[in-house]
Amino acid sequence: MADIQSVTRAQNIRYDRKTEALYIIDQSLLPNEEREIRLQTAEEMYDAIRSLRVRGAPAIGICAGYCMYVLAKSIRGEDQQVFLKKLSDYGEYLNSSRPTAVNLNWAIRLMLRTALENADCTRGQMLDALYEKAAAIHQDDIAKCRAISEYGLTLVEGGDGILTHCNAGPLATSWYGTALGPILLGTERGLKFRVFSDETRPLLQGARLTSYELQRAGVDVTLICDNMASIVMKNGWVQACFVGCDRVAANGDTANKIGTSGVAILARHYGIPFYVLGPTSTVDPDCPDGEHIPIELRDPEEIKTMWYQRPMALPEVKCYNPAFDVTDHELISGIVTEKGICRPPYTKSLAALSLKKA
Amino acid sequence: MADIQSVTRAQNIRYDRKTEALYIIDQSLLPNEEREIRLQTAEEMYDAIRSLRVRGAPAIGICAGYCMYVLAKSIRGEDQQVFLKKLSDYGEYLNSSRPTAVNLNWAIRLMLRTALENADCTRGQMLDALYEKAAAIHQDDIAKCRAISEYGLTLVEGGDGILTHCNAGPLATSWYGTALGPILLGTERGLKFRVFSDETRPLLQGARLTSYELQRAGVDVTLICDNMASIVMKNGWVQACFVGCDRVAANGDTANKIGTSGVAILARHYGIPFYVLGPTSTVDPDCPDGEHIPIELRDPEEIKTMWYQRPMALPEVKCYNPAFDVTDHELISGIVTEKGICRPPYTKSLAALSLKKA
């Protein structure tokens, strides 16, 4: 149990009040090295998000909260208007690091709203309020992941095979994770699952992070290439698909790691339920459908040269490298949030969560 | 045109009668190095096939023909029974290098049958007959690829987007290729296609070979990760899928590179025609359906460590690494052979090709 809790309750983002320092586990070095790095400047924070040292929509949100606090502390001078302007500029800068996940924007807005609400306070009170808000975002995510895990666990049985894509485990969130939450919570309770982890090209989060987290937690995990999901399903080894989400539109269309929509189409073909798991902060009620979700295009070198000993394609070959795709709501069997499991029609069930618009 | 013909008519397998030597382009070194290696011993030949230095079902068949000739030449002694037994043992050994492609077995059987038919000849006559047969397999493949390319070209129009998986170009066959044949032949005739090449994990034949061949031939090619096929289709960029095949069962079920079945399911979902292209030597009339096609399982290290600067998963993580999957005949819009395009129901249309059973 010690072993599994070191995974389910890992401290991937940690603000140390004694040394007044923000640390994250650098996910880009896993599974070969577990190293904490300290984030001090806005540039380091931007780079950490951009380079996926911290990744996973909820984790980015948690990290962004603490980042805003650290940056607020760094602002010199007493003028509140200048302070608010500078903090807002920092927020805009951080928010530009990645466009798709709504949590980044969501956390930054929460922090800026907190600053505005405390505009008349002393500097000390302002910083206290910002720290409390960042810590609240963090604690809130832990509670949400726990609730998502409990709800998700009602969808599977011990012995089930579960396929997951990318990484939506503790590293991508706070504790337990979203897509991996039911698996880890069930494992703590003695259930056995057989998990298939898509390696998730090009950044290999499934190989480097998901299979790492599950193996360390003692879960029966099998790593496959993304293009093996079809044969694994055809073999009858998969009873459910669990994936995370980066943004859920009001109609249930879901942006998640590139390849997720393909998994959903395969699952539909083989008659396997396909579930999206994520906190309600990932639902964007302002976004009517998937057409309105911006999709981040990343560097072709992630496909051609990154990780490799030598280039895997001619330098002049073009690449298309979208980081996300949108899974049509019609392919989704359920969206598991901390408030319960939404079922189709999502326009109705997501609206019933009465999420605040921006 | 010189440029494209250097691709469409590349000599990937070459028997030099002057120096009496068999050469292949070592495909495992592409795209970084174009190097010919000489195959002399049975062990070198076995390794070349096993390690995918020569790969692609038709190319393996061509190579196996010449290999049998080279091995026949190496057999010492005059006793014909001993000669035939030794050649048969070599055939069995080579045939064990890879289990899925039917062409390997097919070419070896052709060569052994030729030896048997010439059992009463002199050693010189026997070797001449074997050389002629090997060269005939080669010439025959060139003619077949050309015919497949012509038939395939009737299925698309200039301007079309075509998605392909793995590599079924000149490197995998003789000239033009099968899946890439219509694209290359059309390009020679001035048509423009936009080709999407799945990188094809874990061995990256799409990145290393397909995008290499198409780029060198001046075709507009875009490399994508396997899990990006869904978004590319959803974007409306694909009008047809062309793939090769390693074995086609009598009912049309088709074994091809792992991930092919997933592409077919996506194509069906998005309403895009999905074509299999291959010579009739790839059709196995003795095999009633996909259930009877053996699927090769390969080393997990191909997923976890091969190509990489450092391991991409914990050493203890299990992998499932099938080299092929079977695409259900119901997902296939047409099977393009040198004898014409077979349409469903395949049990009927493939039988009409009147292929000889083993």
| Residue numbers in A near B200 (CB within 8 A) | 227
Distance, CA of B11 to CA of B23 (rounded, Å): 9
Q: Quote the pLDDT of residue A95.
A: 96
| Residue numbers in B near A202 (CB within 8 A) | 225
* Residue B70 token pair: 């080279």
For B269, the closest of A226, A265, A307 (CB atoms) is A265
DSSP B265-292: HHHHHHT--EEEE--GGGEETT--SGGG
* Residue A135 token pair: 């810590």
For B202, the closest of A202, A225, A321 (CB atoms) is A225
Q: Quote the pLDDT of residue B335.
A: 98
Given a contact cutoff of 8 angstroms between Cβ atoms, the answer to whether A164 and A229 are in contact is no
User: Whole-number mean pLDDT of chain B?
Assistant: 95
Whether residues A259 and B225 touch (CB distance < 8 A) is answered with yes
Task: Quote the minimal CA–CA distance from B321 to chain A in Å.
Answer: 7
Q: Point out the catalytic residue in the list A141, A160, A246, A284.
A: A246
Whether residues A261 and B316 touch (CB distance < 8 A) is answered with no
- Three-class SS state of B106: helix
Whether residues A258 and B31 touch (CB distance < 8 A) is answered with no
For A314, the closest of B200, B202, B215 (CB atoms) is B215
* Residue A6 token pair: 């070191």
Per-residue pLDDT reduced to its tens digit, B153-183:
999 999 999 999 999 999 999 999 999 999 9
HEC profile of chain A: CHHHHHHHCCCCEEEECCCCEEEEECHHHCCCCCCEEEECCHHHHHHHHHCCCCCCHHHHHHHHHHHHHHHHHHCCCCCHHHHHHHHHHHHHHHHCCCCCCHHHHHHHHHHHHHHHHCCCCCHHHHHHHHHHHHHHHHHHHHHHHHHHHHHHHCCCCCCCEEEECCCCCHHHCCCCCCCCHHHHHHHHCCCCCEEEEECCCCCCHHHHHHHHHHHHCCCEEEEECHHHHHHHHHCCCCCEEEECCCEEECCCCEEEECCHHHHHHHHHHHCCCEEEECCHHHEECCCCCHHHCCCCECCCHHHHCCCECCCCCCCCCEECCECEEEECHHHCCEEEECCEEECCCHHHHHHCCCCCCC
What are the backbone angles phi and psi of residue A234, rounded to the nearest 5°? -60, -35
List CB contacts of B154: < 8 A, sequence separation 6 or more: B341
Q: Quote the pLDDT of residue B159.
A: 98
Q: Which chain B residue is nearest to residue A322, measuring alpha carbons?
A: B228
Given a contact cutoff of 8 angstroms between Cβ atoms, the answer to whether B276 and B332 are in contact is yes
Nearest-CA neighbor of A153 among A172, A131, A180? Answer: A180
Whether residues B208 and A313 touch (CB distance < 8 A) is answered with yes
Nearest-CA neighbor of B277 among B156, B149, B94, B174? Answer: B149
Whether residues B230 and A325 touch (CB distance < 8 A) is answered with yes
**Scanning the structure block, which residue is given the tokens 């898509």?**
A198
Q: Which residues of B117-151 are buried (b: 16+ CB within 10 A; e: fewer)?
A: ebeeeeeeebbebbbebbbebbebbbebbbbbbeb
Whether residues B261 and A304 touch (CB distance < 8 A) is answered with no
* Residue B306 token pair: 């091969």
Q: Which chain A residue is nearest to residue B233, measuring alpha carbons?
A: A262
Task: Quote the minimal CA–CA distance from B6 to chain A in Å.
Answer: 17
Q: Quote the pLDDT of residue A77.
A: 80
Instruction: Name B30's bridge partners.
Output: none
Q: Which chain B residue is nearest to residue A331, measuring alpha carbons?
A: B269
* Residue A161 token pair: 């095979």
Q: Quote the pLDDT of residue B358.
A: 53
Q: Quote the pLDDT of residue A357.
A: 58
Q: Quote the pLDDT of residue B281.
A: 84
Q: Quote the pLDDT of residue A1.
A: 46
Q: Quote the pLDDT of residue A145.
A: 97
Task: Give the domains, in start order, of chain A with CATH numbers.
Answer: 4-145 (1.20.120.420), 154-353 (3.40.50.10470)
pLDDT at B2 over 60: no
Per-residue pLDDT reduced to its tens digit, A122-177:
999 999 999 999 999 999 999 999 999 999 999 999 999 999 999 999 999 999 99
Q: Which chain B residue is nearest to residue A233, measuring alpha carbons?
A: B262
Whether residues B200 and A227 touch (CB distance < 8 A) is answered with yes
Distance, CA of B49 to CA of B31 (rounded, Å): 18
pLDDT at B78 over 80: no
Given a contact cutoff of 8 angstroms between Cβ atoms, the answer to whether A216 and A3 are in contact is yes
Chain pair A-B, CB pairs under 8 angstroms: 194
Q: Quote the pLDDT of residue B57.
A: 87
Distance, CA of A164 to CA of A259 (rounded, Å): 11
Q: Which of B317, B329, B330 should be substituted to probe chain A, the one whose Cβ sees the most A Cβ atoms within 10 Å?
A: B317
Q: Quote the pLDDT of residue A2.
A: 52
Percentage, residues of chain B above pLDDT 70: 98
Per-residue pLDDT reduced to its tens digit, A240-269:
999 999 999 999 999 999 999 999 999 999
Task: Quote the minimal CA–CA distance from A18 to chain B in Å.
Answer: 34
Q: Which of B32, B230, B243 should be substituted to probe chain A, the one whose Cβ sees the most A Cβ atoms within 10 Å?
A: B230
Q: What is the DSSP letter of B297?
A: B
Q: Quote the pLDDT of residue A219.
A: 98
Distance, CA of B87 to CA of B115 (rounded, Å): 9
More confident residue, B23 or B79: B23
Whether residues B226 and A224 touch (CB distance < 8 A) is answered with no
For A232, the closest of B223, B313, B320 (CB atoms) is B320
Q: What is the mean pLDDT of each run of 10 residues along chain A (358 residues)?
A: 82 95 96 96 97 93 97 91 96 91 90 97 96 97 97 98 97 96 98 98 97 97 98 98 96 98 98 97 92 94 96 97 98 98 98 75
Q: Which of B163, B227, B299 should be substituted to probe chain A, the one whose Cβ sees the most A Cβ atoms within 10 Å?
A: B227
For A269, the closest of B201, B265, B309 (CB atoms) is B265
ipTM for the assembly: 0.93
Q: Where are the alpha helices (DSSP H) in B154-246?
A: 181-188, 205, 211-216, 229-234
Instruction: Name B25's bridge partners.
Output: B36
Q: Point out the catalytic residue in the list B160, B246, B284, B325.
A: B246
pLDDT at B1 over 50: no
For A303, the closest of B223, B300, B313 (CB atoms) is B223
Residue A228's alpha-carbon distances to A255, A282, A317, B321, B324, in angstroms, are 22, 29, 25, 8, 9
Distance, CA of A50 to CA of A48 (rounded, Å): 6
Asked if A246 is an active-site residue, the reply is yes
